[in-house]
Amino acid sequence: MSTIDRAPGTELSWERFWQLIDLIGGESAVAVCATFDAGCERLTEELAAGAVEEITGFGERLAEALYRLDREEYGTQRAADPDDPAARPLPLSDDGFLYARAAVVAAGRTAYERVLADPALFARHSFRSGESLLHAHVDAYETARGEEWDHDTRYDPESCANHDGWPNLRG
């Protein structure tokens, strides 16, 4: 965990976070790029229309949700194309792992909690890219404030940043 303190007023309840994630449209929306991107645009618009504290709070919760999935049991899985079961599964790159974790979050609370409880379920998300979700709060902040996002979240969402989740990477 990072030692960066949260800025005052950036706390967002998990309940509100998942309500905002629901604007994306759930697991079926994440499976189709155009639908997923449209859902992320709805999320961005909703965030931009609200308080800046909600935008920064969303960024904090998103980083924490991604951090919780940043674990060896997820990151060492291979990406499998659900549309081509005969295709050879491929290892996830750092970016691919980040985008797959974002796809799990974008799929909604139920999917996220299932994957946390059973890492084998991560594989169904491994071929999806949730990259657009990673930019929703940044774009909303820039729209609302007219300035660049310059906020360090308490949790680092990048791949392999959760040192406790990657015990075999410790040197």
Residue indicated by tokens 């949790």: 155
Residue 165 belongs to some domain of the structure:
no
Residue 123 belongs to some domain of the structure:
yes
What residue spans of the chain are helical by DSSP H?
Answer: 14-21, 27-30, 33-49, 52-69, 72-75, 94-106, 109-117, 131-145
| 167 has pLDDT over 50 | yes
What backbone phi and psi angles, to 5 degrees, belong to 60?
-65, -50
Residue 21 belongs to some domain of the structure:
yes
Can you name the residues that pair with 79 across neighbouring β-strands?
90
- Residue 31 DSSP class: T
Domain, as residue range, for 58:
14-79+89-148
Residue 171 belongs to some domain of the structure:
no
Most confident of 5-14, 143-152, 161-170: 143-152
pLDDT at 170: 59
Confidence of residue 1 (pLDDT cuts 50, 70, 90): very low
Residue 35 belongs to some domain of the structure:
yes
Give the number of domains in the chain: 1
Most confident of 4-8, 31-35, 161-165: 161-165
Residue 63 belongs to some domain of the structure:
yes
pLDDT at 81: 73
Structure token pair of residue 91: 């290892």
Residue 67 belongs to some domain of the structure:
yes
Question: Residue 146 region, left (φ>0) first, then alpha (ψ -120 to 50), else beta?
Answer: left
In total, the chain counts a number of residues equal to 171
pLDDT at 6: 42
Residue 5 belongs to some domain of the structure:
no
